[in-house]
Chain A
Amino acid sequence: MNDDHQTPLVGVLSLQGAFREHRRALERTGARTREVRRRRQLEGLDALVIPGGESTTIGKLMVEYDLLEAVRGLGREGMPILGTCAGLVLLAGAVVGGEQPLVGLMDIEARRNAFGRQVHSFEAELELPLLDGKPFPGVFIRAPWIESAGPGVEVLATHAGHAVAAREGNLLVTAFHPELTADVRLHGLFLEMVAGRHPAGTA
């Protein structure tokens, strides 16, 4: 329908969670989007978002519908992937004390519900030097943090001494929910990674 080849097509994994909010943020930032529930819907995408939700639920459904291996393969080929909250957990190479299906592309270890149960969920302003200007509104909901990261991982933001946003090559993760705010700068940063992929990329 849209034959503008300059406009990237971003898939949003839509098995469960806040996928509509990611679509809205991406469309406001100038991308086309597609909901992904079946493997065939991965075809022709320029990038993928794994949204917040329950990582155990999303992981099980990814296994059941043959998406886990497929997404891992696309990530290895260099497709830009953004993971928020549950998406961070699913992209992590390991989860502290947990056994659950993971895409496992990134050289980080995630700790689930690291800040505590829901009564400890919070909002906090974050310093994100990669983004111009004012602090970023961090919405943390039963959020994970990055317990440890390999040498190739660039930590983009911390809160209370814990890494809560990071980038490694084509992968971008946040422990918080940019899709629940009106601030689309992180989605903009992700789309820059998508645009940069074809010339050379930054990684």
Chain B
Amino acid sequence: MRAMKIGTMTVKSGLAEMLKGGVIMDVTDAGQARIAEEAGAVAVMALERVPSDIRAAGGVARMADPEKIREIQETVSIPVMAKARIGHFVEAQILEALEVDYIDESEVLTPADEAHHIDKWRFKVPFVCGAINLGEALRRIAEGAAMIRTKGEAGTGNVVEAVRHMRAITGEIRRLAGMDQAELSAAAKDLRAPLELVKWVAENGRLPVVNFSAGGLATPADAALMMQLGADGVFVGSGIFKSEDPAARGKAIVEATTHYDDPEILARVSTGLKEAMAGMDIREIGEENLLQHRGW
């Protein structure tokens, strides 16, 4: 037998490549995980509470109980992800020991470190991280993130921030494409990102890893909107299990993500889904309560 290599960037980012065009659903127990898999989710995110409940409950939000994660792992055959607090590398060590398939170093939980993110190169389990702009995405990739998701504003059922962040990233990537070497050096400084990554993005016209959309998606149309804006796939948190009929809505969002540019199908799958989760106006939340500003 020849030498084997585990935990390489190829296999870490490779799993994200396999999730493309799919929907990753937040679940809080085995029952929800089963519904998500049945609806066609490509992965589930195991959580103690969905973001809208975290927002309502206040206090400190932490990694889920390992018992809950195990229960979900035993229930489904698709990948199981779980969230660690920003900078909380011990929560990440625990999640790696549990063999979760991806760790989300997430602003939805209360940050554990206000200056440092987890050094993700030290792990063989891959990480996904949130970003609101290109600089943040590239800083996370430099720290070893194998997948990016735009943050949006979790738990709001309002897609406006997800749109803002996706447009910010794709717009900044387009801007880099027209720059010469001197301008790229200046851009790297502005973006607070490594020059090498900035050059790669300018040359290839995309991020070096998969970029999903997250935070506030609640309908099949929201999912298709984010796909048409350039997302590789979508995370749906509170939007499914805070709606009136999660199984039907989950399935409809899966189909809308695949057929995102087929309005005839989008019309059909959007029909008769019962109530979506109640949404929030971002302006009513207050700047200091926005989760998207967590992370540096």
Please give the residue numbers on chain A whose beta carbons come within 8 Å of chain B beta carbons, in ascending order.
14-21, 37-38, 52-54, 56-57, 60-61, 64, 85-86, 98, 112-113, 116-126, 135, 139-142, 159-160, 177, 180
Contacts and interface: CB of A to CB of B under 8 A. Distances in A.
B172 interface: no
Contacts of B22: 16-17, 53-54, 57
A120 B11 CA distance: 9
| Most chain B CB atoms below 10 A, which of A19, A64, A121, A142 | A121
A53 B23 CA distance: 12
Contacts of A113: 77
Given A61-B40, A61-B255, A118-B101, 7 more contacts: A16-B22, A117-B101, A118-B125, A123-B5, A125-B2, A135-B2, A180-B14
A52 B255 CA distance: 18
B11 A122 contact: yes
B10 A180 contact: yes
The 6 closest A-B pairs by CB, nearest first: A118-B101, A121-B11, A16-B21, A54-B42, A117-B99, A124-B4
Interface string B274-290: 00000000000000000
B18 A86 contact: yes
Interface string B140-160: 000000000000000000000
Interface string B81-103: 00000000000000010011110
14 contacts: A16-B257, A18-B17, A37-B262, A54-B19, A54-B79, A56-B77, A112-B77, A113-B77, A117-B101, A118-B102, A119-B101, A121-B6, A122-B6, A180-B14
Contacts of B7: 119
Interface of B: 1-8, 10-11, 14-15, 17-22, 37, 40-43, 77-79, 96, 99-102, 124-126, 254-255, 257-259, 262
B18 A139 contact: no
B216 to A, nearest CB: 22
A121 B22 CA distance: 20
Given A54-B78, A177-B14, A119 B42 contact: no
B15 A160 contact: no
Contacts of A64: 255
Contacts of A98: 77
| Most chain B CB atoms below 10 A, which of A15, A21, A135, A140 | A15
Contacts of A180: 10, 14, 17
B20 A17 contact: yes
Contacts of A160: 1
Nearest to A120: B6
A119 B10 contact: no
Contact of A118 (B15, B20, B37): B15
A17 B233 CA distance: 10
A17 B18 contact: yes
A56 B78 contact: yes
B189 to A, nearest CB: 32
